[in-house]
Amino acid sequence: MAIEQELKKTNPLHKEFQNLLDEDFKDRKLKENEIIKATVTEVTKNFIVVDCKAKMEGMIPVDEFKNDDELSKLKVGSTIDVYLERIESFKGEIVISRDKARKMKAWKKMEKVFESKEELTGYITGKVKGGFICTVESLPCFMPSSQVDQKPLRRVDHLMNQPIKVIATKIDKNRGNVCVSRRAVLEKSKNAEITEALKNIKEGDTVDDAVVKATTDWGIFLDINGVDALLHVSDLSHGRVKKPADLVTIGQKLKVKITKIDPKTNRVSASVKALTEDPYSNIEKNYKVGEIYEGTVTKLMDYGAFVRIQEGIEGLVHNSELDWKNRNIKPSKILSVSQKIKFKVVNIDKDSKRISLSYKAILDNPWDKVKEKIGKEVKIKINNVTDKAIFGELVDLGLTGMLHYKEISYEENIENLKKFKKNNLLNVKIIEIKDEKIRFSKRALDKDPLEWFSDNKKKVGDIITTRIHEVLKTGVKVAIDKDKKLIVTIKKVDLAKESADARPEVFSPGNALDAKITELDLNNRKIKLSVKAAQIDEEKSLIAKFGEGATKSGATLKGIFEKAIGSKKKKKKKEEK
């Protein structure tokens, strides 16, 4: 081997060939990790042989040409870009890659077109979590599922490995990641078409053949010469529209007016009601507040009923204007849809296009009749018994009023409520009507026990004789009248002058008890009696009559009383003789 190497060095032909080769490579500027031009010299079953102007030819696997149609176009003499990894490997071979050249070229191109949003050709080659792998010029990119089409697609089989146009939407240089979108290309194309179509229409135009594409609860989508337009439910009619689907069908042609075109979003708004005069413009001339008109019930809600006065104009009859007897009655119990009714106009708000109506205003007002019965006896039917009152309905008028437990009897005992049940009939007197509220009284049918004071001409300061009705721990209850309808409580502190004599237990029911009237307010039904005050007045009277200067002479009050009583007895005996 050493001899062979020595012969090569000494052989003049070998030296001449080496010099020519070195001279040729001197002009070939090959640098590793760059893209270079290569010429195809041979196409085999597994490899593409290329000349890179290196010491030897390079070989590229056929698999690197299968991502697009390049393989079918290759032939001897074709020039392609390849990525030079190494000029010479340890085997003395040149290492090149067509795939890496494409990726590097694609990445550089991607950086340039990212800002300009230039369209690129890609192939969806696989599915990953949240989207797909889209290969753009040998560069794997991520395409989210939402960016495949303008609307959600259940399947994308028809797009797999097919050339599609995409736009780069995001580039991460550090990680080498790229996100692309097919949807952006479709929208861009569609927007271009819409922009062109919008040149043929303008705001204020009338379109006779707008086609209904779809309906929702809040509007209708139209096709106006290839442009999508929205007809909002509020622009369908001057009146109220419950559901647009009730008025139109898919494919129907409508006559509309273009009301707005947004140049930024290319959104078009249309209107049907803009083609007709607003009926509210002359509403005040046609309808007067306080006058009675006729209309048709169109809609029943929880809060009231809508009535069509004329085409395009509806008014509201609130629950409180449906019935005189019940302010919160359900409209369905009074009216029905399509029913023709008479009503009175209560209010017209032209600016907000609201009209308030009253149905009960055309009916007889029972409140006018019930006012005539204030202070008179009436019959009621009990509807409900609560913790503190009875609610009953006037049998002849149907209006409801309240009977408070204090108005059942003059005892004002809340336990009296237990005596009454629902649907019982009861005779009462109407004592007050205020703000459409009626107050009843049952005790007003009987004589007021407090009249005893006026009948007997009793006033504050008078001393009256009562009978003990009940003994309490805090005092005693006494009956003022013989029928025991006038019961008053005397507190413990008012039972006697001396505290030892003011114990309630020393008193017994039925005993007579003199007491002084210390307070008498008949309007507020307040009565206050005091035995103590009566005793003090009695003492003052006796002292004034029999004991002037008695306290100075050492005489006791008991002696004065005994002396007074004794002198009375002696006087009686003398008179008897």
Chain mean pLDDT for the chain? 81
Q: What is the mean pLDDT of residues 485-507?
A: 87
Specify the CATH architecture of the domain 117-189.
Beta Barrel (2.40)
Q: What is the pLDDT of residue 552?
A: 43
* Listed residue (417, 337, 433, 331) closest to 378, CA to CA: 433
Q: In the structure, what pLDDT confidence band is assigned to residue 280 with cuts at 50, 70 and 90? A: confident
In this model, does residue 25 exceed pLDDT 70?
A: no
Element (H, E) at 2: helix 2-10
Q: What is the pLDDT of residue 521?
A: 87
pLDDT > 90 fraction of the chain, expressed in percent and rounded: 17
- In the sheet with 512-521, reading across from the earlier edge strand, the strands are 487-491, 475-479, 463-471, 512-521, 526-530
Least confident of 239-248, 389-398, 514-523: 239-248
Q: What is the pLDDT of residue 352?
A: 82
Q: What is the pLDDT of residue 67?
A: 60
CATH for 200-275, among 2.60.120.260, 1.10.150.20, 3.40.190.10, 2.40.50.140?
2.40.50.140
The domain made up of 279-362 has a fold known as OB fold (Dihydrolipoamide Acetyltransferase, E2P) (2.40.50)
Q: Are 142 and 128 in contact (CB under 8 A)?
A: yes
Q: What is the mean pLDDT of residues 32-52?
A: 80
Q: In the structure, what pLDDT confidence band is assigned to residue 103 with cuts at 50, 70 and 90? A: confident
More confident residue, 498 or 108: 498
Q: In the structure, what pLDDT confidence band is assigned to residue 18 with cuts at 50, 70 and 90? A: low
pLDDT > 70 fraction of the chain, expressed in percent and rounded: 85
Q: What is the pLDDT of residue 6?
A: 53
The whole-angstrom separation of Cα 171 and Cα 178 is 5
The whole-angstrom separation of Cα 470 and Cα 405 is 23
Residue 577 neighbours by CB under 8 Å, 6+ apart: none
Q: In the structure, what pLDDT confidence band is assigned to residue 220 with cuts at 50, 70 and 90? A: confident
The whole-angstrom separation of Cα 150 and Cα 66 is 30
What is the CATH code for 451-543?
2.40.50.140
Q: In the structure, what pLDDT confidence band is assigned to residue 294 with cuts at 50, 70 and 90? A: very high
Q: Are 44 and 61 in contact (CB under 8 A)?
A: no
In this model, does residue 390 exceed pLDDT 90?
A: yes
* Listed residue (83, 63, 82) closest to 71, CA to CA: 63
How, if at all, do strands 227-232 and 267-271 pair? parallel
Q: Which CATH superfamily is domain 31-101 in?
A: Nucleic acid-binding proteins (2.40.50.140)
The whole-angstrom separation of Cα 451 and Cα 522 is 9
Least confident of 6-15, 81-90, 471-480: 6-15
In this model, does residue 330 exceed pLDDT 60?
A: yes
In this model, does residue 307 exceed pLDDT 80?
A: yes
**Most confident region among 57-61, 78-82, 266-270, 502-506 by mean pLDDT:** 502-506
Q: Could you read off the pLDDT of 350-364 as tens digits, one per residue?
A: 888 889 999 999 988
In this model, does residue 181 exceed pLDDT 60?
A: yes
In this model, does residue 555 exceed pLDDT 70?
A: no
Least confident of 71-75, 145-149, 385-389: 71-75
Q: What is the mean pLDDT of residues 275-302?
A: 87
Rounding to the nearest 10 degrees, give the CA dihedral for residues 104, 108, 114, 119: -70
Q: In the structure, what pLDDT confidence band is assigned to residue 29 with cuts at 50, 70 and 90? A: low
In this model, does residue 17 exceed pLDDT 60?
A: no
Q: What is the pLDDT of residue 444?
A: 86
Query: Long-range pairs for 48-56 at CB < 8 Å and ≥24 separation?
Result: 48/74, 48/98, 50/80, 50/82, 50/96, 52/82, 52/84, 52/94, 52/96, 53/28, 54/28, 54/30, 54/87, 54/88, 54/94, 55/21, 55/25, 55/88, 55/92, 55/94, 56/92, 56/93, 56/94
Q: What is the mean pLDDT of residues 308-329?
A: 88
In this model, does residue 23 exceed pLDDT 60?
A: no
The whole-angstrom separation of Cα 316 and Cα 300 is 10
Q: Could you read off the pLDDT of 108-153 as tens digits, one per residue?
A: 777 777 777 788 888 888 888 889 998 887 778 899 988 888 888 8
- Token representation of residue 89: 């490997």
Q: In the structure, what pLDDT confidence band is assigned to residue 548 with cuts at 50, 70 and 90? A: low
- Token representation of residue 520: 């008498």
Q: Which CATH superfamily is domain 366-445 in?
A: Nucleic acid-binding proteins (2.40.50.140)
* Listed residue (382, 393, 292) closest to 346, CA to CA: 292
Full 3-state SS string of 470-500: EECCCEEEEECCCCCCCEEEEEHHHCCCCHH
How, if at all, do strands 400-404 and 437-441 pair? parallel
More confident residue, 380 or 173: 380
> Tokens 């060095």 correspond to what residue?
9
Report in angstroms the alpha-carbon separations of 73 from 43, 77, 236, 382, 389.
11, 11, 60, 102, 101
Least confident of 112-121, 339-348, 403-412: 112-121
In this model, does residue 173 exceed pLDDT 90?
A: no
* Listed residue (529, 513, 524) closest to 458, CA to CA: 529
Q: What is the pLDDT of residue 267?
A: 81
Q: Are 314 and 366 in contact (CB under 8 A)?
A: no
Q: What is the pLDDT of residue 265?
A: 72
- Token representation of residue 340: 């023709």
The whole-angstrom separation of Cα 258 and Cα 256 is 7
Question: Where would I find the beta strands (DSSP E) of 370-449?
Answer: 377-385, 389-394, 400-404, 425-434, 437-441
More confident residue, 104 or 419: 419
Neighbours of 403 (CB within 10 A): 25
Q: Are 13 and 21 in contact (CB under 8 A)?
A: no
- Token representation of residue 23: 């001279």
pTM higher than the cut 0.95: no
* Listed residue (169, 170, 148, 187) closest to 265, CA to CA: 187
- Token representation of residue 438: 């009626």
